[in-house]
Amino acid sequence: MSTLPSSGMTERDEIAVVGAGLAGCLLACFLARRGYRVALYERRPDPRTGRVERGRSINLALSERGLDALRRIGLAEQVMADALPMRGRMIHPVDGEPQFQSYSAAGTLAINSISRGALNNALLDAAAALPEVRIAFDHRLVGLDPATGEMTFETPTGKTTAVAPVVLGADGAGSAVRGQLLGHGLLTESLDFLDYGYKELTIPPLGGDFALDPEALHIWPRGTSMMIALPNPDRSFTCTLFWPTHGTASFASLGSPAAIERHFATHYPDLPPLAPNLVDDYQHNPVGVLGTVRCTPWQVGGKVGLLGDAAHAIVPFYGQGANCAFEDVVELDRCLDDCADDWAAALPLFQQRRQDNAEAIARMALTNFVEMRDKVASPVFQLWRRVEHALERALPGRYVSQYELVSFSTTPYAEVRRRVRRQHRVLGAVAAGAVAALVGAVGAAVSRGRR
Ligand SMILES: Cc1cc2nc3c(=O)[nH]c(=O)nc-3n(C[C@H](O)[C@H](O)[C@H](O)COP(=O)(O)OP(=O)(O)OC[C@H]3O[C@@H](n4cnc5c(N)ncnc54)[C@H](O)[C@@H]3O)c2cc1C
């Protein structure tokens, strides 16, 4: 599918993609497939040769939306070769045995734990193998003229500039491209940070094997805090502890090794025996921030565009940020198809098609925090999940839970919310009807008894 770039581009012009993270690399592959030449600028050195940052989201859950995008460039099989399928949640109470809750009615559908670094490297390899793609590492974007497409980069040897007919910001939640548009008064943004941060901890293999069930996403719901753990191919688990950043019960409140040990022994008693480096991890791994980024517009003049976290970072509680960023790339490709590669038409269309969906998953991710932190352990929630699974089995394809629609389909996120609301309304009406019928029957029986 080779098309000649429009918008007055010549064949020698390169589209600039800023950020060789997950979305940026995938986007470079998709654009090259369309016949564009792409310059991919990344502030970091080549991660395939460097060291991994300590305590920064080592693994992530990849589900249908991300896989759908990877399939389109023939990478899904390679990525899935090292993935660990997680078929449900394993809930760890403070006392008692862990309980498994399947994600799907049949228990067969799974989200996939994958190494973020390995995924990024696979995408980098795929992009680097394409003759149309040129990757410039150690290039941090620090300036952008949205009118001319002139970019300024800081490199280890000083500042350098480049010009592109189209500049696409795939440079993550703290996007410099978004910052430049903001600085030029061309965009408004809102950043809603949670009071919660996150810290990564490790459960190493135990006797050469996984210390916990590797086919589950483990959750320790504790009301005001929560920990999750995802399995890694080396048979370790990466735990992520979510906790307020400040206050009496917070990351700031554990000042000594003894306090750390006491805290985990009290609230996460099954963890210390499995995590010999707990205190060291806790003391040395950074606390990451969590928040929702909203901005508008996502493009300026059909010349500068934003996608992935740069346009709409979300909190990680639905495991959808990367999946959503990958879906952005698929949709932008579709918009270019629909606009015959006219960027001035395709970028506004992309925003129009994606913004409501990004907002929908942002809201669902925030709601899911409450569900994971508080509700998953409650008997009422567990009963509701069983009812939902029964309904899914009784009405296949007609009743589908929100989790299944989000994680195991590519139904647009905004449509998922609408459909789930409809399903709940119908259920509510059926339940109300059943109660009314029951009350009527009881009333009739009572008056018969009186007569
Ligand atoms: C704790 C945690 C857990 C998560 N778990 C999941 C999960 O299970 N499933 C899921 O789908 N998502 C998850 N996410 C979200 C996911 O990580 C992001 O949504 C995803 O990485 C977004 O991809 P991106 O390419 O838009 O941004 P990024 O992955 O952040 O990539 C941005 C790239 O741009 C580069 N860059 C930044 N600034 C500049 C600059 N000035 N110049 C040049 N380059 C620059 C960066 O170095 C980076 O390589 C999680 C996030 C967190 C924090």
Ligand 1 atom nearest the C-alpha of 25 is 25
CA 21 – ligand 1 centroid, Å: 6
Ligand 1 atom nearest the C-alpha of 323 is 11
Note the Cα 194 to chain centre separation in Å: 16
Q: Which residues contact 280 (CB under 8 A, 6 or more apart)?
A: none
CA 449 – ligand 1 centroid, Å: 69
Stretch 249-258: mean pLDDT, rounded? Answer: 93
The reported pLDDT for the residue numbered 164 is: 97
The reported pLDDT for the residue numbered 163 is: 97
Pairing state between β 37-41 and 84-86:
unpaired
Stretch 430-446: mean pLDDT, rounded? Answer: 69
The SS3 assignment for 123 reads helix
Q: Does pLDDT of 20 surpass 80?
A: yes
**Which of 171, 182, 354 is the best mutation target for the ligand 1 pocket, counting ligand atoms within 8 Å of the beta carbon and taking the most?**
171
Task: Return the beta strands (E) in 204-259 as ranges.
Answer: 216-221, 226-231, 237-244
Q: Which two tokens stand for residue 289?
A: 């921030």
Ligand 1 atom nearest the C-alpha of 308 is 26
CA 308 – ligand 1 centroid, Å: 8
The reported pLDDT for the residue numbered 387 is: 84
The SS3 assignment for 194 reads strand
CA 22 – ligand 1 centroid, Å: 7
Question: Ligand 1: residues whose CB is within 6 Å?
Answer: 18-24, 41-44, 57, 60-61, 140-141, 170-172, 176, 198, 240, 288, 308-310, 316, 319-323, 325
CA 134 vs CA 17, 129, 387: distances in Å:
10, 9, 52
**Which of 25, 40, 60 is the best mutation target for the ligand 1 pocket, counting ligand atoms within 8 Å of the beta carbon and taking the most?**
60
Write down the H helix ranges in 172-320. 176-183, 257-267, 278-284, 309-312
Stretch 314-319: mean pLDDT, rounded? Answer: 97
Mean pLDDT for all residues in the chain: 92
Phi, psi of 222 (to 5 degrees): -130, 25
Stretch 329-354: mean pLDDT, rounded? Answer: 98
Q: Which of 131-135, 233-237, 363-367, 445-449 is the least confident region?
A: 445-449
Q: Does pLDDT of 54 surpass 60?
A: no
DSSP string, 155-167: ETTEEEEEE-S-E
**Which of 58, 160, 245, 309 is the best mutation target for the ligand 1 pocket, counting ligand atoms within 8 Å of the beta carbon and taking the most?**
309
Q: Which of 3-12, 107-116, 353-362 is the least confident region?
A: 3-12
Element (H, E) at 431: helix 413-450
Q: Which two tokens stand for residue 99?
A: 């309980």
Residues pairing with 305 in the sheet: 168, 299
| Cβ atoms within 10 Å of 435's Cβ, excluding its own | 10
**Which of 41, 42, 103 is the best mutation target for the ligand 1 pocket, counting ligand atoms within 8 Å of the beta carbon and taking the most?**
42
* pLDDT tens digits, one per residue of 281-297: 999 999 999 999 999 99
Pairing state between β 99-102 and 88-91:
antiparallel
Query: For the stretch 270-303, what's the b/e string if a residue is b when 16 or more beta carbons lie within 10 angstroms of its beta carbon?
Result: bbeebbeebbebbeebebbebebbbbebbbbebb
The SS3 assignment for 132 reads coil
Q: Does pLDDT of 419 surpass 60?
A: yes
The reported pLDDT for the residue numbered 381 is: 81
The SS3 assignment for 260 reads helix
pLDDT tier at 12 (50, 70, 90 boundaries)? low
End-to-end CA distance of the chain: 82
Q: Does pLDDT of 437 surpass 80?
A: no
Amino acid at 121: N
Phi, psi of 210 (to 5 degrees): -65, 135
The reported pLDDT for the residue numbered 3 is: 43
Ligand 1 atom nearest the C-alpha of 309 is 26
CA 222 – ligand 1 centroid, Å: 27
Q: Does pLDDT of 311 surpass 60?
A: yes
Burial class (CB in 10 A: 0-12, 13-18, 19+), 406: buried
The reported pLDDT for the residue numbered 13 is: 77
The reported pLDDT for the residue numbered 74 is: 97
The reported pLDDT for the residue numbered 2 is: 40
Specify whether the CB–CB gap between 292 and 366 falls below 8 A.
yes
The reported pLDDT for the residue numbered 427 is: 76
Q: Which of 19-33, 220-234, 253-267, 364-378 is the least confident region?
A: 364-378
Stretch 343-369: mean pLDDT, rounded? Answer: 97
Give CA angle at 434 (432, 438), nearest 5°: 115
Domain assignments of the chain as residue spans, ordered by start: 11-364, 379-441
Q: Which residue from 155, 182, 154 is spatially nearest to 169, judged by alpha carbons? A: 182
Query: For the stretch 119-151, what's the b/e string if a residue is b when 16 or more beta carbons lie within 10 angstroms of its beta carbon?
Result: bbebbbebbbebebbebebebbbeebebeebeb
The reported pLDDT for the residue numbered 4 is: 44
Give the orientation angle of helix 22-33 with respect to helix 116-128, to 10 degrees.
30
% of the chain beyond a pLDDT of 70: 92
Between CA 437 and CA 410 the distance in angstroms is 39
**Which of 30, 57, 290 is the best mutation target for the ligand 1 pocket, counting ligand atoms within 8 Å of the beta carbon and taking the most?**
57
Stretch 192-213: mean pLDDT, rounded? Answer: 97
Instruction: Please state which CATH number belongs to domain 11-364.
Output: 3.50.50.60
| Cβ atoms within 10 Å of 378's Cβ, excluding its own | 12
CA 330 – ligand 1 centroid, Å: 17
Stretch 187-211: mean pLDDT, rounded? Answer: 97
The SS3 assignment for 111 reads strand
The reported pLDDT for the residue numbered 1 is: 40
pTM for the whole thing? 0.93
| Cβ atoms within 10 Å of 106's Cβ, excluding its own | 11
Nearest residue by C-alpha to atom 48 in ligand 1: 21
